[in-house]
Amino acid sequence: MRVMQGIAASPGIGLGQAFLYVHERFLTPHINIEEGEIPEELKRFKKALQVVAQDLAEIVKTAAVDNSEQIVETHLLMLEDPEFTKAVEVLIKEEQVCAEWAVERVLKAAIEAIEKGNDPLLRERSADINDIRWHLVKQLMGKSHSNLSMINHDVILVSDTLLPSQVLSLDHKYIKAIALDGGGKTSHVAILAQALQIPTVVGLGNITEKVRPNDQVIVDGNLGEVAIRPSVASANKMVERHAKWEENTRKLLALATEEAITTDGFKVELKANIERVEEVASVLKNGAEGVGLFRSEFLFLKPGGASEEEQFEAYKEVLNRLGKTKAVTIRTIDVGGDKIIPDLQGLSEENPILGWRAVRFCLSRKDIFRAQLRALLRASNYGKLKIMFPMISGVEELESALTILEQVKDELRGNRVPFDEEIEVGIMVEVPSAALTADILAKKTDFFSIGTNDLIQYTIAVDRGNEKIAYLYQPFHPGVLRLIQMVVEKGSAAGLPVAMCGEMASNPLAVVLLIGMGINELSMSPLSILKVKHIIRSISKLEAYEVLEEVLKMDSYLNINRYLREWMYDRFGDFFTA
């Protein structure tokens, strides 16, 4: 048996046989051929066209998403496009290069031409062309295509890395756990795994080299451990540990209807982060007082995106199910970074984390932004909806977003479409420049919500999804704590409610500091709400403030971590680590 230590990303334990999925990284071969080899090369190209067309037809039959026919049809049309096939054949004949290289050259040139132009419709096509390029070159190289949505029996999914769209395409009832080489605790794959309640460990480094297909594997998403080919005794130990965790979780359910209030009367609103409408059941079960962050971009992760109508229906459903009094904060789409949607954004960027993301994307794709704002405003008539803009880096961006919102409101008024005229509009504070100018931004917005996942990433310059530098991703870095405190102080001084919706809000060690700072609202995965409530109900604001004062005197995250661990152990024993 081998036990590997990674990063606990989604709680629970999963046991089963490994399904190994490793993304292939391949270099397209560039081989010069002899004149006599040309007919054979042309034949290979024709055959690849046929096989890829058949594969695509197969995918459409089994895909677990709507709209797949439409996408595949576009791909099939491309495969049959005489201009394309002719260009490849000409290269094979005249430049005497192998079919792989000819396909690569022709399609890459097409993609580059599209990327240079500014036609949004064409830009969307470049992702399709890239997909076809990938299929054809792989086919020519004799590598078959593997589709995760086809998994139809219980497995432990072991992979190097997964895209959020791949996680969404899984039939998750069959995925008993996930173990990944890459990823960080706050990567979007980890966040989605929590939403789907799949026990997950990320950042394992090289588990894909240690596991063989069908090996017995146990994934402990609470402690971040993965046991490969475990002995019966160790399997029993892990299962026992899991039973204890389940018992603790069950006990906490009794708190679902209680308030999150400290022993000296400081009330905190505990809300839920959701990515999918289906999560509302879990939001209600865990007694959330609303939705503090609806990551609306996940509606767009399926092929074809989400129309205004589809969005409106999704937002309305969440509002209806939460009732008139529980607020739902919906964040406008935050695509980009580790949530690239090729259909919307074309080819990947050199530096996506600092690139065309979130509100930056919306301000240049106003068609998509306006459609979303219309859907949000229309839905606001059905409950207490708040709008939140992500990745605001300065006042200019905020003003531009607000101007568009006002225009959309005017348009709706003109068409006599009702919406909530009092709708609140807030921003995520997740870029250091926004935190540093919180006093300026506070004048133009109704609330702040601190996004620590990105705030930590950008403050320490550490990619939140990269396991190689995960040791640097430290919520208790004094630089991060100072920025958070600054946002709370500036926001509160301007009379704004200050919330936190990053993963730090559910970190048991952080809760006491956040209460000490006076944060009024914490929003997190529904599964974490009750444990945070238990902490809040067991402490006083005064002692939380004393802990904060002590921590702010310390100069290293190592010391702060140690101090908070000891403090929690004194107060709660092994309740949060068992």
Give the interface with ligand PEP as residue ranges (CB under 6 A): 293, 295, 334, 430, 451-454, 501-502
Burial class of 125 by CB neighbour count within 10 A (0 to 12, 13 to 18, 19+): middle
- Partner whose footprint covers residue 242, from Mg ion, ligand PEP, none (CB < 5 to 8 Å by kind): none
Our finding on whether 275 is near Mg ion (CB under 5 A) is no
Residue with Cβ nearer Mg ion (392 or 530): 392
Among positions 434-493, residues that touch Mg ion (CB under 5 A) are: 451, 454
Residue with Cβ nearer Mg ion (392 or 548): 392
Residue with Cβ nearer Mg ion (99 or 358): 358
Our finding on whether 297 is near Mg ion (CB under 5 A) is no
Q: Are strands 385-389 and 290-295 parallel, antiparallel or unpaired?
A: unpaired
Shortest spacing between CB 504 and ligand PEP, in angstroms: 8
Shortest spacing between CB 457 and ligand PEP, in angstroms: 8
Q: How far is CA 324 from CA 9, 307, 318, 383, 388, in A?
A: 33, 25, 11, 5, 19
Annotated catalytic residues are 188, 501
Our finding on whether 430 is near Mg ion (CB under 5 A) is yes
DSSP 123-172: HHHHHHHHHHHHHHHHHHTT-----GGG--S-EEEEES---HHHHHHS-G
- Partner whose footprint covers residue 518, from ligand PEP, Mg ion, none (CB < 5 to 8 Å by kind): none
Letter string b/e over residues 491-515, b meaning 16 or more CB atoms within 10 A of that residue's CB: bbebebbbbbbbbbbbbbbbbbbbb
Shortest spacing between CB 431 and ligand PEP, in angstroms: 9
Burial class of 351 by CB neighbour count within 10 A (0 to 12, 13 to 18, 19+): exposed
- Partner whose footprint covers residue 535, from ligand PEP, Mg ion, none (CB < 5 to 8 Å by kind): none
- Partner whose footprint covers residue 208, from Mg ion, ligand PEP, none (CB < 5 to 8 Å by kind): none
The strand pairing partners of 217, in sequence order, are: 16, 228
* Vertex 107 angle, CA 106 and 113, to 5°: 95
The strand pairing partners of 16, in sequence order, are: 217
Alpha-carbon dihedral sign for residues 474, 195, 449, 562:
negative
Residue with Cβ nearer Mg ion (138 or 188): 188
Shortest spacing between CB 317 and ligand PEP, in angstroms: 21
Q: Judged by CB under 5 A, which stretch of 40-48, 85-93, 128-136, 425-433 contacts Mg ion?
A: 425-433
3-state class of 422 per DSSP?
A: coil
Nearest residue to the partner Mg ion, using Cβ: 454
- Partner whose footprint covers residue 295, from Mg ion, ligand PEP, none (CB < 5 to 8 Å by kind): ligand PEP
Shortest spacing between CB 295 and ligand PEP, in angstroms: 5
Shortest spacing between CB 232 and ligand PEP, in angstroms: 39
Residue with Cβ nearer ligand PEP (139 or 273): 273
Shortest spacing between CB 521 and ligand PEP, in angstroms: 13
- Partner whose footprint covers residue 345, from Mg ion, ligand PEP, none (CB < 5 to 8 Å by kind): none
Residue with Cβ nearer ligand PEP (451 or 518): 451
Q: Judged by CB under 5 A, which stretch of 105-113, 199-207, 273-281, 428-436 contacts Mg ion?
A: 428-436
Site size toward Mg ion, by CB under 5 A: 3
* Vertex 145 angle, CA 142 and 148, to 5°: 155
Alpha-carbon dihedral sign for residues 237, 238, 239, 240:
positive
Residue 284, number of CB atoms within 10 A of its CB: 16
Residue with Cβ nearer ligand PEP (41 or 454): 454
- Single-letter residue type at 169: S
The token pair that represents 520 in the structure block: 């009024």
**What is the binding site for Mg ion (CB under 5 A)?**
430, 451, 454
